[in-house]
Structure formats: C-alpha cells, structure tokens
Amino acid sequence: MIRLLDASTVGQIAAGEVVERPLSVVKELVENALDAGATRIAVAIARGGLEAVDVADDGAGIAPQDMRLAFARHATSKLARADDLTHIGTLGFRGEGLASIAAIAHVRLISRRAQSEIGYAVDAHELLVGEPEPIAAPLGTRVVVRELFGNVPVRREYVRGPAAEFARISTFLATLALAYPGVTFSLSHDARPTFVFSAASGLAQRLAHVFGPVPARALIELGAGEPASDGLPRVRGYVSAPGVDRGDRRMQLLFINGRLLRSTLLAGAWSAGYATFALANRQPFGVLFVELAPEHVDPNVHPTKSDVRLRHPEAVHDAVRRAIVATLARDAAARMRDALAIAPPGVSAYRGAPAALGDVGETTLADGFAWNGTAAGSAPCAAPAPAGPAELRILAQLDETFVLATDGRALVLVDQHAAHERVAYEAIASRALRGDTASEPLLIPYVVELDPDDALRFEHSRASLAEAGFEAEPFGERVYRVVATPAGYGARAFDMRAYIAGLGDDVPGLDARERVWASLACHSVVRAGDELEHAEMTALLARLVRCDNPMHCPHGRPTIVRIEADAIARMFRRT
C-alpha cells in the first residue's frame, strides 16, 4: 500500500541530507553568521555537540516578523528568483539549514537588529515554531541547538563519541577561519575554551594552529600573480616549501569563493605545480584561496554544499599550477642567493650587493622550473622580481660529475653527487626523526649474502635503516632479503656492500644512527658519471638550497664552490 508520508517524517528525511552529525549543525550556523556579515563568531559545544551547539554572532540579525519564516523549508533571504542561482555570492542559498536542524533537534533562535532596542526569541522543534517573544539580547543572532537527533535514534548510532565529534568541529572551524582572517572566531567545549582567533592577530596564528607550528613556518605565501582580470581566477594562499611535505593530500586545503571544498578537487594542479620539486609519494601542503566570478561556480551540487561545479575547470587548474610554479621559482631563486652568499672556507667569499642582471638570453632557474611539467610559454609571472635578484643560471654538466652555473659574478661549481647526498640525507633524517617514513615494497625483493664481519655491521644498522624506510630481513645465515626501500628511492639498485663499507666511515658530528642515514643517502643518489638533464640539474639545485646545511655533504665535503670573476681574471693575468 502506498501512503503519503506525514510532514514530520518528510522533514526528518530531508534533514538527513543536510545534518549528518554535530559538525553539520556547526557548519550551517557558522555559514549563516558569515553570510550575515558577522565580525565575531562564538561557538560553544557541549558533549561533542549532542547535548548542545550554541553559535552566537554580531551580524545583521533577523527582523522579528521573519523569524518564524526562517524555519520554513526553502525560505531564504539570499535568493530572490531562480535566476539568482547562476551567481551565488553567499555560503547559504537553499533555505533549508534552520528547517533541517529544527527537524531533528530543539532550536532556540535569538536575534536583535541594529534598528531595534530589544531582541526576540523563537523556539522551534519539528513542525512547531513558536511566536517571537521579546527578550534582552546583544546585537546579532544566537542559535542554540539541543538534543540533536533526540527524535532520530538511528542517526545517533552513526555519531561517534563526544571527543571524536568535537575533534571534527574543531578542525573544521579552525580551517574555515583561514579564509576569514577579518572575523574573530572562538570555540569552547564543555565550557573550556579551545581557541580564540582574534581578527587582530591575523593569519599567522591560524596557519600555525591548522598546520602545526613547525610546518607552518615552512609555508611560502603565493605571489600576488597577475592582477585579477575579468573572468580569470585569482589565486592566493600558502604552500609548503619543497622538501617539507607529507605522505598524504589531506592538508591540501582549498577554498573557492570562501567555501571550503574537498581537497582533491585540484589535487592534479598541486602535483603539476610541484612537478620538478617533489619527491615521489610525497605531498605538499598548504591552503589555496581561489576567487572566481560567481557565475563561474555552481555550488548547487550537493545539500551540504561541500562540492561545486566549475564552469572552466581547466582555467582554474591552470591558474593554481601557475601560481605555485611562480612562487616556488621565486622562492628557490631567493634561497639560492642566500646559500651562495655563504662560501665554503678556502673559496673566495661572495661580496657586494646583488645587482640586476639585465636580460641575458640563457635559461634562468625560474625558466627551468616552468619548463618541466608546464606548458611552454605559460610562466609570465615567473619573471624575476623587479629588484633583480642574482639568479643562478645553469650552464652545463661537466664531465658527468659537476653542474656548472653562474650568477653573473662567479662561476659556480656543484658536485652533483655531494649535492644529491645532502638532499637525500636531510630528507631521510627529517622524516625518520618525525616518525613519518614512507617505504615502498619492492616488487621483486633481492637477496644478498654477506661475509661475517659485514653481516655483523649490517645487523647493527638494521633498526636505523628501518626508521629510514629501508627494510631487509634475515633470509638464512648471513643472507638478507631487501623487501622495501624508502619511498621515492626509485628503481636504483642498492649496493649493500658499498653501503656497509660506508658505515665504517668516521663522520665527525654524526651519531651511529645518522651515519646509517648518511651511508644510505650516499648509496641512493646520483653518482659521478651519471648524465643529468637540464631539468634534473635545476631540481637538484633547487632542493639543495632548501637544505638546512646546503654547503656540505653529510661527510663534510663541499657541495658548492664559487670561483669569482676576479680570480678568473687573475688566471688571465688581467689584474
């Protein structure tokens, strides 16, 4: 028998799409506060939100005669006609937030507008919406939601414990706050304050909260890029420096027109932007704010509005990639300049202030990045800053051993093996120390037999090797089977005997564990005699100058040597 469902069941079904868990309530209420132009939003949660979600703002408020209507489904002040759906400039527009929440909880709405001396309160639950009653209230709106899912026991079963639900709320709110630095946000749980992000303290505090204080320091602000012209996406944000990365994409945060979206939407653009900088299986992190003309974004895709349809996804993808490439190239050039100012002992020191180089026809570092992994001619914003930093130009590879470069003042020689060793060592060590190692199982494990001395030395180093992602297991007496290598290690075969010989090297300043990593780095990188492509040389130098200690390999040998033009002049007896 077919029956029409009663109105309260219909309401609960519809609410199910919007309100999945306590976080959904917070999201709807905070979006309403932002749409109302609030400059302060205070969120108080009790027992993970199941007992209460309380969101207070200082926004425009709701007129008393509109308060009951606000609870009607499809009632909104944000759209006037269907046409408005093509250019949505607010976070909400479906008019079902408050209706959905009231369908599955007890709601009290209190609001006062600037033109009124007094506020009004309305209580709503399921289909019952009370009359506005006068009440003393601060300017703005406060919504208190109690007994969430009290009338939908099945929903309660999907909700986790208060701590887990609160964690979601806290992560969401801190992340959302990144896009609204002018708004003060506060959050508390069971009356204990969790955070206060004041508008005055700016973005730095929010970045440190979301990414962690140490990774946040490695964020680079995206360059201003090209001025936003009509219809073109504008991209702002912060991205991680190459070499500081994560194993997953979860921290690639994305806002489009102030809306926090699935991070994977532009995952390909992130990867393309980092193409020449990143290690395999490692992911950059950061936050992108993309702004588009509203008619180019359709947020009316999903009831929770956490997805959008883009009119020109390729244009957005391209703008993001170009912004990242330009920023990393600029940053690498600056790093290079700093690194080159510290000459190793015995080599004449860098002197004098950097001067503009003028237009030299060779490939610049910035070009090198743009060239690999991006369409040719697509890097107009990768041009050096007007101040004219002394950029390093890669000239050639010498004897398949050295990279030759110049900053216009000196000939710069880089030992490709020592440089790569330094890069690999710092990557291995920093990940092992963070406990954030990714290893990659070998498709075909290989087996080595060692003589008794070597077997003993190898046995001592196995735990530290495993910390670096390198796994070898005993496979008979003095026989080991190599089953996994550090992620990004590539197919390069590991020379176990040379590695063990390297363990014996006495390296001043390194402890036993670091010696293992140094030897691993030494035997996992390009060697003298390997031919390198231009892009590989560029990427190698870009990563070298990112290192904490770029001037020496872990064994203490120099990585970079400068020969100043005046020293060359003396060779030609020109002084």
Q: CA-CA distance, 404 to 412, in Å (whole number)?
A: 6
**Contact of residue 141 among Mg ion, ligand ADP, none (CB under 5-8 Å per partner type):** ligand ADP
Helix (H, G, I), strand (E, B) or coil at 542: helix
Helix (H, G, I), strand (E, B) or coil at 258: coil
Q: Is 76 in the site for ligand ADP (CB under 6 A)?
A: yes
**Contact of residue 33 among ligand ADP, Mg ion, none (CB under 5-8 Å per partner type):** ligand ADP
Q: DSSP letters along 200-244, please?
A: TTHHHHHHHHHH-HHHHHTEEEPP--SPP-TT--EEEEEEEPTT-
Compute the Cα dihedral for 143, 148, 150, 152 and give only its sign.
Answer: positive
Closest to 319 in 3D by CA, of 362, 359, 269, 275: 269
Q: CA-CA distance, 454 to 461, in Å (whole number)?
A: 11
Q: Is 560 in the site for ligand ADP (CB under 6 A)?
A: no
Say if residues 452 and 478 touch (Cβ distance below 8 Å): yes
What does the chain come to in residues? Answer: 575
- Binding segment for ligand ADP (CB under 6 A), chosen from 96-104, 179-187, 313-321, 512-520, is 96-104
Q: Is 98 in the site for ligand ADP (CB under 6 A)?
A: yes
> Closest CB to ligand ADP among 32 and 283?
32
CB 122, min distance to Mg ion, A = 16
Structure tokens at 468: 């670096």
The number of CA neighbours under 13 Å toward the Cβ of 76 is 19
**Contact of residue 76 among Mg ion, ligand ADP, none (CB under 5-8 Å per partner type):** ligand ADP
Q: Is 92 in the site for ligand ADP (CB under 6 A)?
A: yes
- Binding segment for ligand ADP (CB under 6 A), chosen from 31-39, 289-297, 343-351, 538-546, is 31-39
Q: Is 70 in the site for ligand ADP (CB under 6 A)?
A: yes
CB 64, min distance to ligand ADP, A = 12
Out of 48, 97, 132, 215, which residue is the one contacting Mg ion (CB under 5 A)?
97
Q: Is 92 in the site for Mg ion (CB under 5 A)?
A: yes
Out of 39, 77, 378, 437, which residue is the one contacting ligand ADP (CB under 6 A)?
77
- Binding segment for ligand ADP (CB under 6 A), chosen from 88-96, 225-233, 409-417, 432-440, is 88-96
Task: Give residues with Cβ within 8 angstroms of 82, minimum separation 6.
Answer: none
> Closest CB to ligand ADP among 127 and 396?
127
The three-state (H, E, C) secondary structure of 158-203, written as one string: HCCCHHHHHHHHHHHHHHHHCCCCCCEEEEEECCEEEEEECCCCHH
Out of 12, 24, 32, 283, which residue is the one contacting ligand ADP (CB under 6 A)?
32
- Binding segment for Mg ion (CB under 5 A), chosen from 40-48, 97-105, 115-123, 567-575, is 97-105
CB 306, min distance to ligand ADP, A = 14
CB 94, min distance to Mg ion, A = 7
Q: Which residue minimizes CB distance to Mg ion?
A: 92
Say if residues 417 and 448 touch (Cβ distance below 8 Å): no
Q: Is 24 in the site for ligand ADP (CB under 6 A)?
A: no
> Closest CB to Mg ion among 97 and 132?
97
Interface positions, 441-470, toward ligand ADP (CB under 6 A): none
Matching residue, tokens 């290598």: 485
**Contact of residue 276 among ligand ADP, Mg ion, none (CB under 5-8 Å per partner type):** none
Strand 259-261 and strand 286-291: the pairing is unpaired
> Closest CB to ligand ADP among 182 and 345?
182
CB 206, min distance to ligand ADP, A = 22
Q: CA-CA distance, 191 to 202, in Å (whole number)?
A: 25
Q: CA-CA distance, 256 to 271, in Å (whole number)?
A: 18
Binding mask 214-253 for ligand ADP (x = CB under 6 A): ----------------------------------------
Q: CA-CA distance, 320 to 379, in Å (whole number)?
A: 12
Q: Is 32 in the site for Mg ion (CB under 5 A)?
A: yes
Number of residues that bind ligand ADP (CB under 6 A): 23
- Binding segment for ligand ADP (CB under 6 A), chosen from 89-97, 354-362, 426-434, 526-534, is 89-97
Out of 22, 48, 49, 59, which residue is the one contacting ligand ADP (CB under 6 A)?
59
CB 98, min distance to ligand ADP, A = 4
Compute the Cα dihedral for 323, 328, 331, 333 and give only its sign.
Answer: negative
Residue 94 Cα distances to 68, 90, 124, 556, 567, angstroms = 17, 10, 19, 64, 72
Packing angle, helices 512-522 and 452-467, rounded to 10: 90
Q: Is 78 in the site for ligand ADP (CB under 6 A)?
A: yes
- Phi first, then psi: what are they for 245, rounded to 5°? -150, -175
Neighbour-count burial of 147, counting CB atoms closer than 10 A to its CB (0-12 exposed, 13-18 middle, 19+ buried)? middle
**Contact of residue 59 among Mg ion, ligand ADP, none (CB under 5-8 Å per partner type):** ligand ADP
Matching residue, tokens 């670091």: 514
Helix (H, G, I), strand (E, B) or coil at 452: helix
| Positions that interact with ligand ADP (CB under 6 A) | 28, 32-33, 36, 57, 59-62, 70, 75-78, 92-99, 141
* Contact footprint for Mg ion (CB under 5 A): 32, 92, 97
